Amino acid sequence: VSALLLVEHKDNKIAASTLNALTAASGLGGSVTALVAGSAPDSVVAEVSKLAGVSKVLVAKDAVFAHTLPESHASLLVETQKKHGFTHLIAAHSAFGKNILPRAAALLDVAQISDITGIEGADTFVRPIYAGNAIATVKSNDSIKVITVRGTAFPAAGHQDAAAPHEDAPAVGQKDQSEFVSEHMQKSDRPELDSATRVIAGGRGMKNGENFGLLYEMADKIGAAVGASRAAVDAGYVDNSLQIGQTGKIVAPELYVAVGISGAIQHLAGMKDSKTIVAINKDPEAPIFQVADYGLVADLFTAVPELTKKL
């Protein structure tokens, strides 16, 4: 078993989900080589080389990798696999990993195993299907396993004292056919949703975007990230990057506080693995109460400020 981990990074920071994917890669039972592609990846390479479990770092330094475009990245994965004979290609099941890995799998003529939550052997994996309403165990019969990892299912990898050596990845002739135009990222000083240990999320019951201020006050007091249900995003209260659910982010913090969220199946799919779930809703029949460890039937506009004060 020799695994190749595709490292996701932005603004010289390694994506949190890559640390979870590294733990999964180490769990395969063989060596883990990390692949870092970028136009100026030196500081990321230095950081990756000190992540626990990384035995070597392959560096693809080229202007073509300035943005995370799929055509060049997929070709790089394929060329790197062919040169070194890795048995597993692995990345986080993030927008980055989801975009690139299936393309590489097709070029290698192998299946991909998406969004794994467990490893039962080097060729056997556990993954949720039907938005987590069923859990499948699948065995790959391909010689190369291409895998994306659900971050919340694996702990983040730590650090090692000795830095792993690095060398150049093979050169790739493939230029991107798609072209980067622009990006618009939500800036926040709060913890990131997918790695926060505490999350407070608002739903349609928040009534408007301004009222999310109540959640931000509570979040700041306990160091939590703020999220939202799809209903709140669709109603335009908050940006899509906050969405938690089947079609948004999957989170599993220590503490999840659902405020004014009814608990549609699609929302539950994104948060039901949280350790402790609190629901605040004025409708005692809301389905969210059935999964909540602690339910408070109350008007959120009085309960949330009171809770913030008492935390």
Partner 1 sequence: MSNLRILVATKRVIDYAVKIRVNAAGSAVETANVKHSMNPFDEIGTEQAIQIKEALAKSKTGTAEIVVVSCGPVKSQETLRTALAMGADRAIHVDSDEELQPLAVAKLLRAVVEKEKPDMVILGKQAIDDDSNQTGQMLAGLLNWPQATFASKVELGDKSMTVTREVDGGVETVKTPLPAILTTDLRLNVPRYASLPNIMKAKKKPLAKFTAADLGVDIKPRLQTLKIVEPAKRQGGKIVESVDDLVDKLKNEAKVL
Interface with partner 1 in residues 115-174 (CB under 8 A): 115, 124, 128-142
Residues in the chain: 311
Least distance from C-beta 310 to partner 1, angstroms? 5
Residue number with CB closer to partner 1 (59 or 206): 206
For 233-242, b where at least 16 C-beta lie within 10 A, e where not — what string?
bebebbeeeb
- Smaller CB separation from partner 1, 33 or 112: 112
**Distances in whole angstroms, Cα of residue 260 to Cα of each of 216, 285, 293:** 15, 12, 16
CB of 161 to partner 1, least distance (A): 31
Residue 109 as a binder of partner 1 (CB under 8 A): the answer is: yes
Note whether 180 binds partner 1 by CB under 8 A.
Answer: yes
Smallest distance, partner 1 to C-beta of residue 235, A: 12
User: In this structure, what token pair is assigned to residue 253?
Assistant: 């913090």
Minimum CB–partner distance for residue 251 and partner 1 (Å):
12
Closest CA to 58 of 95, 11, 3, 12: 3
Nearest residue to 256 via CA among 232, 281, 234, 225 = 225
Residue from 42, 192, 220, 299 touching partner 1 (CB under 8 A): that is 192
Q: 114, 152, 229, 262: which one contacts partner 1 (CB under 8 A)? A: 114
Residues in 270-299 that interact with partner 1 by CB under 8 A? 272, 275-278, 284, 289-298
Instruction: Identify the sign of the CA torsion 254, 258, 264, 270.
Output: negative
Residue 267 DSSP one-character state: H
Contact call for residue 94 and partner 1 (CB under 8 A): yes
Q: Is 38 in the site for partner 1 (CB under 8 A)?
A: no
Tell me the C-alpha distance between 254 and 260, whole Å: 20
State which of positions 244-263 bind partner 1 (CB under 8 A).
246-247, 249, 254-255
Q: How far is the CB of 92 from partner 1 (least distance, A)?
A: 9
Say how many residues touch partner 1, by CB under 8 A: 87
What is the number of alpha carbons within 13 Å of residue 41 lying toward its C-beta?
Answer: 30
Task: Give CA–CA dist 151/84, Å, rounded.
Answer: 26
Decide: is 225 part of the binding site for partner 1 (CB under 8 A).
Answer: no
Binding flag, residue 12, partner 1 (CB under 8 A): no
Identity of the residue, 53 or 191, whose beta carbon is nearer to partner 1 in the bound complex: 191
Span interacting with partner 1, options 49-57, 161-169, 177-185, 200-208, rule CB under 8 A: 177-185
Tokens representing residue 162 in the block: 């000795």
- Compute the least distance from the CB of residue 224 to partner 1, in Å: 11
What are the φ/ψ torsions at residue 89 (nearest 5 degrees)?
-110, 130
Q: Nearest to residue 38, comparing CAs of 16, 17, 69?
A: 69
Which residue, 28 or 164, is less far from partner 1 as judged by CB? Answer: 28
Distance CA 89, CA 142 (A): 12
- Helix (H) / strand (E) containing 145: strand 145-149
Based on the shown chain and the rule CB under 8 A, indicate whether residue 235 belongs to the binding site for partner 1: no
Among 102, 118, 170, 209, binds partner 1 (CB under 8 A): 102
Identified binder of partner 1 from the candidate list 22, 37, 90, 104, rule CB under 8 A: 104
Question: Which residue is associated with the tokens 């230095």?
Answer: 46
